[in-house]
A and B are shown apart, each in its own frame.
Chain A
Amino acid sequence: MKHQTIAVVIAAVITLASVLGPMLADFSYARQERNHIAEAPSAQHWLGTDDLGRDRLARLLYGVRNSVLLAPVAALLSMLLAFLLGAVPGFAGGVWEQTAKSAIDLFLAIPWLFLLLIVRAMLPLNTSPEVSALITFAVLGAMGWAAAARMLLARARSLRQSDMIVLARATGSAGARLLRKQVLPNLRPILIAQFWVTVPLFILSEANLSMLGLGVSEPMPSLGALLRELESVLSLRADPVRFIPLLMLVLLISSLQIAVSDREVIR
C-alpha cells in the first residue's frame, strides 16, 4: 500500500508541475535563442538548450502537460466508444451482440501499433502543431476501444440475463433509462479500471508514433516528440540531459501503473 501511495503522489506531483509549470516558466517552448544553441545546463536554462536554442525545461514542462492532459481525454473517448460499441450491443443481444463481437475481434486481430500507424498516416500530416496533437490523441482514442469493449460486452451480456434487470424490466424500466439507471452503474468499475489502464498505454503509444514521425509535429512538444531528440544522440555518455524526457516518461508511466494496480487491489 505504501508503494501505491508514493506512486500516486509522484504522478500527482508530475501532473501538477506540468500543468502549473508552464505558467511560471520564463521561456516559451518554441522561443529560439540563436546565441544559446545546444548549451549545457546553466542558471538561466536549468536543463540547457536544444539544437535550435530552445529552453529544454520549458519544452519538458509543456511536453509532459500535453501528454498528461490529452491522454486522459483520449482515454475518455475510448471508454465512450467501448460503452457504445461493447456494452450497448452486449445488453441488446442477438444480431447486435454478434456484430459487435465480430468487429471487436477484427480490431483485436490487427496489431495495435500497426493499426495506429496506418490510421495516423492516412490523416493529414502537414497540419498546425496544435491540430497534429489533437489528431494524434483523437486517433488513439478512436482506435483504443476494442479491449475495453470486449470486457464491457461480456459484463453487459451477463447483466442482461440477471435477476436485477428482469426485475427492472418488470417494473417498467426500458431503453435508455434502463441503460442509465441499471447498466451504467454496474459497468462503472470496469470503465474506471480500463480508463486508468488505457492512459499510460496512450502516453506510450503517442511516444512510439512521434518517434516514427507520425505524432505531434514541431515545435509543439509532447513526451514522444521530446524523445525524438534521442535519434541524434551518438552515445549514452554524450549528452545525459537529452535522456531527461525519457526518465520523466518512465517515472510517469511506472507511477501510473503502480497506482492502477492499487485501484485493482481496492476493487
Chain B
Amino acid sequence: MRMPGWLRGLVLHRLPLAVATVLAGGLLSASLVRYAPGFATDERLLDARLSDESRDSIRTAASAEQDVVKYYLGSLQRALHGDLGTSRSMNRPVRELVAERSGVTLALLARALSLVWFATLLLAFLASSSSRSRWVEGPVTLLSGALLCLPAAVMALLCVLLNQPAYLALALILFPKVYRYAATLIANTREMPHVVTARAKGLSPARVFFWHILPAANRELLALAGISISLAIGAAIPVEALCSLPGLGQLAWQSALGRDLPVLITVATLIIVCVVLANSGADVLAGAKEQPA
C-alpha cells in the first residue's frame, strides 16, 4: 500500500526536523544558562547555618552541571524515564511544578485563542459582507493598529487595573496580529473568480463566506492558527508574570530570573515542543486537506 504524500512528508521530513529543532532548542537554552556570567555562584553557599558537608554536597551538585552537553544528555536520559530533575530555586521536583502549572497556561491559551479567533472570523465576515464593510473595517483597523502599539506587559497591567481577566489581556495582545493577516487573506480570497461568481449569483453573505471564502483560504488560515499558538505562548509570559497567574509563563520568568537550569531546560523544551507541534500540525492538517489519501 502506498503512503499518501502528506504522510510521507510528515514521516520523512517534518518529524525529524521537529525532533531536531526541539533537541537543539533545549541545548541552546542549556548553553545560554551554563555560559551566563555568575552561573557557578550559588547564594546558598553563603548561608552560615550550613555545615561543610552540606556545602560540599551543593558544590558537587553544581559541578555536575558544568559540562553543558553532558548535563543536557543526562537530563534528556532522565526525562525519558520521567525524571525532570529538581528546581534549584524552588526546591521542588520540576515534574510537579510543570504538572500543576500546565493546566493554568492551557486554560489561559484556550480561552484567549478561542476569543481571538471568534472575534477575527466574526469581524472578517462582517467586513466581507459589502453592505456593512465600511462600518466594520475602519474602526477595527484603527483598534488593531492602536493595540499593536501597546507592549504586552502594559496590556496585562491595564487588565489588572480594570479588574479584567488575564485571558482578555492575552486576547487583546493577539487579536491585532491575527486579525490583520486573516482580514487581508479573506479580502484577497473575496476577489477570487469563484467567490465573485457566487456573489453575482445572489448567494447570501453567510453562504459565500462559509462555503466559498473559508474553504478557499483554509490552508493559510490553518498556518495562521499554528502561528497564533506560538504567539500566544510568547505573550503568556508577561501576562502570567504581571497578572500573578501561576502558569508556565510565570514559571519561565521566575526560573530565568533565578537561573534555575533544570526548570529552564524543561520549560524551554516544552515551549519549543508546543510551538513546533502547533506549526507542524497546522501544516500537516492543511496538507492532508489538500491531498486526501
Residues on A with beta carbons closer than 8 Å to the beta carbon of B154? 207, 211, 227, 230, 246
What's the Cα separation between A207 and B148 when bound, in Å? 13
Instruction: Judge if B230 is at the interface, Cβ distance under 8 Å.
Output: yes
**Contact between chains at A111 and B234 (CB < 8 Å):** yes
Verify B24–A106 contact, CB threshold 8 A.
yes
Whether A213 contacts B233 by the Cβ 8 Å rule is no
Q: Are A118 and B149 closer than 8 Å at their CB atoms?
A: no
| Given the contacts A113-B234, A113-B237, A249-B151, A124 and B38 also touching, CB distance less than 8 Å | yes
Q: For chain A residues 223-237, which have a beta carbon within 8 Å of chain B?
A: 224, 227, 230-231, 233-236
| Size bin of chain B's contact surface | 35 or more
**With A110-B272, A111-B234, A212-B241 given, is the CB distance from A254 to B145 under 8 Å?**
yes
For the complex formed, measure the closest distance between the CB of B240 and the CB atoms of chain A, giving whole angstroms: 11
- In the bound complex, residues from chain B placing their C-beta under 8 Å from that of A207 are 151, 153-154
Q: Is the CB of A121 within 8 A of B257?
A: yes
Interface pair B33/A111, CB less than 8 Å apart: no
* Inter-chain contacts of B21 with A (CB < 8 A): 105-106, 109
**Distance between Cα atoms of A249 and B146 in the complex (Å):** 11
B222 at interface (Cβ–Cβ under 8 A)? no
CA–CA, A214 and B238, complex, Å: 12
Minimum C-beta distance from B65 to chain A (A):
14
State the main secondary structure of chain A at its contact with B.
helix
A253 within 8 A of B: yes
CB neighbours of B151 from chain A (8 A): 204-205, 207-208, 211, 224, 227, 249
Chain B 20-41 interface 0/1 with A at a Cβ cutoff of 8 Å (1 = within): 1100110011001101111000
With both beta carbons as reference points, the residue of chain A lying nearest to B231 in the complex is identified as A111
Cα A213 to Cα B161 with chains together (Å): 19
- State the main secondary structure of chain B at its contact with A: helix
Contact B233 A111 (CB under 8 A): yes
Whether a CB of chain B sits under 8 angstroms from the CB of A122 is: yes
Interface membership of B166, Cβ < 8 A:
no
Q: A residues within 8 A CB of B231?
A: 111
Tell whether, in the assembled complex, residue A106 and residue B28 are in contact, meaning their CB atoms are under 8 Å apart: yes
Contacts of B221 in A (CB 8 A): none
Question: Within residues 95 to 140 of chain A, which ones have a CB less than 8 A from any CB in chain B?
Answer: 102, 105-106, 109-114, 117-119, 121-124
User: What is the bound-complex CA distance between A106 and B24, given in angstroms?
Assistant: 8
Chain A contributes a number of interface residues (CB within 8 A of B) equal to 38
- Please state if B152 and A208 are interface contacts (CB–CB under 8 Å): yes
* Contacting pair A109 B276 (CB below 8 A): yes
Interface status of A16 (Cβ within 8 A of chain B)? no
B225 sits at the interface (CB 8 A): no
A119:B275 contact, CB within 8 angstroms: no
- Tell which of B32, B146, B154, B268 has the most Cβ of chain A within 10 Å: B154
Q: Which of A114, A227, A231 contacts B271 (CB 8 A)?
A: A114
Known contacts A109-B21, A122-B36, A123-B36; A114 and B149 CB within 8 A of each other: no
A257 within 8 A of B: yes
In the complex, the chain A residue whose C-beta lies closest to that of B256 is A121
CA distance A118 to B256 in the complex (A): 6
B272 touches A113 (CB 8 A): no
Q: CA separation between A231 and B21, bound complex, in Å?
A: 37
Segment 178-236 of B: residues with Cβ below 8 Å from A: 230-231, 233-235
Q: Evaluate whether A117 and B148 lie within 8 angstroms (CB atoms) in the complex, with A110-B25, A111-B275, A230-B157 already known.
A: no
> Once bound together, how far apart are the Cα atoms of A25 and B268, in whole Å?
45
Interface string of B26-70 (1 = CB under 8 A from A): 001100110111100000000000000000000000000000000
A70 CA / B233 CA spacing, docked (Å): 28
Chain A, 25-58, contact with B by CB distance < 8 Å: what is the 0/1 string?
0000000000000000000000000000000000
Q: Are B276 and A231 in contact (CB under 8 A)?
A: no
- Chain B residues in 8 Å Cβ range of A118: 29, 32-33, 256, 264, 268
Contact A213 B257 (CB under 8 A): yes
Chain A contact residues, CB within 8 Å of chain B = 102, 105-106, 109-114, 117-119, 121-124, 204-205, 207-208, 211-214, 224, 227, 230-231, 233-236, 246, 249-250, 253-254, 257
Further pairs besides A105-B21, A118-B264, A122-B37: 19, Cβ < 8 Å: A102-B24, A106-B25, A109-B25, A110-B268, A113-B234, A118-B256, A121-B36, A121-B256, A121-B257, A122-B259, A124-B37, A205-B151, A211-B154, A211-B238, A230-B157, A234-B161, A236-B161, A249-B149, A254-B146
